Amino acid sequence: MVSEQNNSVGQSKNVCVIGAGPSGLVAARELRKEGHSVVVLEQNHDVGGQWLYEPNVEGEDPLGSWNSPNPDSHFLKVHSSIYASLRLTSPREIMGYSDFPFVVKRGRDARRFPGHHELYRYLKDFCDWFEIRPMIRFNTRVEYVGMLNYGGVGKDLRWVVRSCEKKSEKVIEEVFDAVVVATGHYSHPRKPSIKGMDAWKGKQMHSHVYRVPDPFRDEVVVVVGNSLSGQDISMELVNVAKEVYLSAKSTDNISQGLSKIICKHHNLHLRPQIESLREDGKVLFVDGSWVIADTILYCTGYSYSFPFLDTKGIVVIDDDRVGPLFEHTFPPSLAPSLSFVGIPRKLIGFPFFESQGKWIAQLLAGKKTLPTWNEMMQSIKEFYNSKDAAGVPKHNTHDLAFSAFEYCDKYGDYVEFPHLEEWRKSLCVSALVKAETDLEMYRESRDGDEELLRQAFQSPHFTQLGPLDPTLEAYGFNY
């Protein structure tokens, strides 16, 4: 076990981290390393966040409380959206934090693209190795976060945090110097807008509450959205459902891998967007075709939601654009006492979360300074303008995708965080390319990756923990 603290500690702050998932855990570690006093508030019984699988979803609204007028409905009963069969879409070699590689351990899931439980166990290992658990209050839901006194830009802020211990229902109100929001972004279902949704008599649900295919046996199911989860779930449903109709925004640009899957299964059909839903059970598509379905399963993604956070309108969510945020992390008028970790999507997440945690911790310690308010706001304006000029929809503001590698390296420069290794970038791209051409089997393929894996296992990232012979043997290597 390792308990780290920077020898040149600066100012010490009392900091509340909300969430003990991948972003919250590493942020807590970095904060403690800089000498801050840290409390992590976690609503579930263990660490892991999204990766803490919850099979029991009976108490959750199947549509994620889209239409509920009750403000409390914004606090979902179930946080995790993980389904039972889910496997990683990225290889394990690229996913670990900089000083804690995601290695194979004896008696555990040794696949390069393991199931979700193995990543949960990795996070538990990380938590135990760095002795983070004592900082965490489990089964504690954050109900309110607000400013104690807001004196304007540049003024020292403190934050009132009100939390509720689930079992005893005891409410605690505390004051912190800073709050780090690390609650993830894969829990609150994003609602599509389809004519007739409210009147349709069949079963409608979001993939947030999908767990296993058995309840859909012999049904006609329409899956809305051909994202990775939509494709993954459709591939699973074809084994039990009577018919599966995968509704995509565009039927012209589907991948070669998905085409192969559709050709392989006689009961899997590709359809365009839904035009409307009818009370008699009909699902009408924009090309004029229709089907009578038993269930519509919405794989339409997730929205950012911070129902506990009151910033007096300074931080807002506008069509999934959380802002204004400097570098997806700091609201200029409230920084650095309020920050967000884990907002960006479509990137190699864990190292990026680590660099965010380092920057926040060093800013609060007085070792780093942010640009001026005007400079940060100008940077945000230029970023938004660049997205608009590129035709990127507002709800994709935080999707890094093709710019992810360059952005992560630039971000790391704020705190001298090492750039992503070339082998890490190349393995990431390799997985994406293989998924495009062989959606069903890309996770089992090592073709073309042997040299990259050799570089990875011989790099400081892996050798820092000593010999890794068991890992190499598990992958079939004999160096």
Query: How far apart are the C-alpha atoms of 479 and 465, rounded to whole Å?
Result: 17
Confidence of residue 211 (pLDDT cuts 50, 70, 90): very high
pLDDT, tens digit, for every residue of 105-154? 999 999 999 999 999 999 999 999 999 999 999 999 999 999 998 766 55
Average pLDDT over residues 358-380: 97
Kindly give the pairing relationship between strand 159-165 and strand 140-147: antiparallel
pLDDT of amino acid 347 = 95
As a whole number of angstroms, the distance between CA 16 and CA 13 comes to 10
Q: May I ask the CATH class of domain 14-187+302-422?
A: alpha beta
**DSSP symbols for 249-285:** S-SSS--HHHHHHHHH-TTEEEE--EEEE-TTSEEEE
DSSP state, residue 347: S
Cα separation, 392 vs 396, in Å, equals 6
Q: How far is CA 225 from CA 67, 96, 245, in A?
A: 21, 29, 10
301: left (phi over 0), alpha (psi -120 to 50) or beta: left
User: Can you tell me the mean pLDDT for 431-448?
Assistant: 93
pLDDT score at 452: 96
Instruction: Tell me the average pLDDT across 226-254.
Output: 94
Here the tokens at position 96 are: 């670990």
Q: What is the pLDDT of residues 287-309, one digit of tens each?
A: 999 999 999 999 999 999 999 99
Looking at 3.40.50.980, 3.90.1300.10, 3.40.47.10, 3.50.50.60, the CATH number of the domain 203-298 comes to 3.50.50.60
* Exposure string over 341-358, b if 16+ CB within 10 A, otherwise e: bbbbbebbbbbbbbbbbb
pTM strictly above 0.85 = yes
Residue 38: the pLDDT is 98
Tell me which DSSP letter residue 189 carries: E
pLDDT, greater one: 467 or 474: 467
- How far is residue 200's CA from residue 60's CA, in Å, rounded to a whole number? 20
Give 322's pLDDT tier (boundaries 50, 70, 90). Answer: very high
Q: Is the sign of the CA dihedral 458, 463, 469, 475 positive or negative?
A: negative
Q: What percent of the chain is modeled with pLDDT above 90?
A: 85
Rounded to whole angstroms, how far apart are CA atoms 467 and 469? 6
Domains 14-187+302-422 and 203-298 share a fold: yes
Q: Which two tokens stand for residue 292?
A: 């009578």
Spell out the domain ranges in the chain: 14-187+302-422, 203-298
Of 223, 276, 214, 278, nearest to 248 by C-alpha is: 223
Q: Indicate whether 335 pLDDT > 50.
A: yes
Average pLDDT score, the chain: 92
Which candidate, 138, 170, 141, places its Cα nearest to that of 77? Answer: 141
How far apart (Å, rounded) are the C-alpha atoms in residues 272 and 285?
6
Determine phi and psi for 286, rounding to 5 degrees. Answer: -65, -15
Q: Go through the chain and tell me how many residues it has.
A: 479
Once rounded to an integer, what is the mean pLDDT over residues 373-393? Answer: 97
pLDDT digits (tens, 9 = 90+) for 60-115: 888 876 554 444 446 788 999 999 999 999 999 999 999 999 999 999 999 999 99
pLDDT recorded at residue 478: 41
